[in-house]
Structure 1
């Protein structure tokens, strides 16, 4: 591969990242939740199911799991850039994750989301054992009390049935 081909490929990827950041800036806002959950991410426009709300971008890889890292594989953890890293957990989320071309996850609407609504995802869909939410503050009707992790989800959990979880967890024993 020539240097000019490599430079062109890097330029395209840089343009793609810039485009992803612009899309994120148009789609969502980071605001205070007004409660114990601190900051959260809120829709800047209406979304229909299936629309990408946030394009996840990796800030840096982590050597070990942290309370803010995303698990990408069994021993692979990454810190995502804002706004993705700020999205709060919910046991009844309005977003699901899907792998993206940047090696991260996109956050896709799984129900209609109105402008100004907080967007949330279930941390257990990427973490085999979740360390980020020991006490859940989502207050949803289906609240499990903590994110718990993929290993704690029941086989009939809606996110599992729909296939909305990290690919590395596909063959995980539950």
Structure 2
């Protein structure tokens, strides 16, 4: 008797994933940054603070972290589907991460974003020790020179104070 319910839930989840992919395709596009950062993700429309810009979807789980993986828990790493996996790091990001219903992270605007602007996030908000950015190329006024990871952020960092970091890190932030 439970098979029809399970099949219905799987069907709904597939529909949700398809919808998420359509929203991502409408919201952003992957382009060459014209710099050493290679490709980046750019807003296809204007966004207000609090709007979801990218819905993160997991491509697959990986045993070890890589330069492109997202740390989901202390020893849990995932590769996200495009466009999320292409979003570049910035020490002054336009996006923050929040957990989503797919077990991944959504990327939410933390300031007004105009169409055509590159959207970025701070890798240190999910990585305890970041291996993806050894030399930061963000050129922001508050550039740390490297993503370095959550362990190197001051506890009064705006992203930590606002709660915009991976949930597994919040215990460390309080401790």
Q: TM-score, normalised by structure 1?
A: 0.98
User: Which residue does the alignment assign to 1:57?
Assistant: 57
Backbone CA RMSD of aligned residues: 0.9
In 1, the alpha carbon distance for the partners of 2:8 and 2:161 equals 41
1:40-79 equivalences in 2 (<5 Å): 40-79=40-79
User: Which residue does the alignment assign to 1:35?
Assistant: 35
**Runs of 5+ unmatched residues, structure 2:** none
- CA deviations 1:36-79 (Å, max 9, x no partner) are 00000000000000000000000000011111000000000000
Deviation, structure 1 residue 161: 1.1
Residue 128 (1) aligns with residue 124 (2) = no
1:94-109 equivalences in 2 (<5 Å): 94-109=94-109
User: Which residue does the alignment assign to 2:117?
Assistant: 117
- CA deviations 1:88-138 (Å, max 9, x no partner) are 000000000000000000000000000000000000000000000000000
- Larger deviation, residues 3-12 vs 79-88: 3-12
- CA deviations 1:135-171 (Å, max 9, x no partner) are 0000000000000000000111111111110000011
In 2, the alpha carbon distance for the partners of 1:165 and 1:7 equals 34
In 2, the alpha carbon distance for the partners of 1:150 and 1:17 equals 30
SS at match of 1:40: strand
In 2, the alpha carbon distance for the partners of 1:22 and 1:119 equals 18
In 2, the alpha carbon distance for the partners of 1:48 and 1:64 equals 36
In 1, the alpha carbon distance for the partners of 2:137 and 2:169 equals 25
User: Which residue does the alignment assign to 2:172?
Assistant: 172
Deviation, structure 1 residue 2: 1.4
- Larger deviation, residues 153-162 vs 30-39: 153-162
In 2, the alpha carbon distance for the partners of 1:167 and 1:157 equals 16
* Deviation >2 Å, runs of 4+: none
User: Which residue does the alignment assign to 2:11?
Assistant: 11
Corresponding pairs, count: 174
In 2, the alpha carbon distance for the partners of 1:108 and 1:171 equals 22
Deviation, structure 1 residue 87: 0.1
**Runs of 5+ unmatched residues, structure 1:** none
In 1, the alpha carbon distance for the partners of 2:155 and 2:170 equals 12
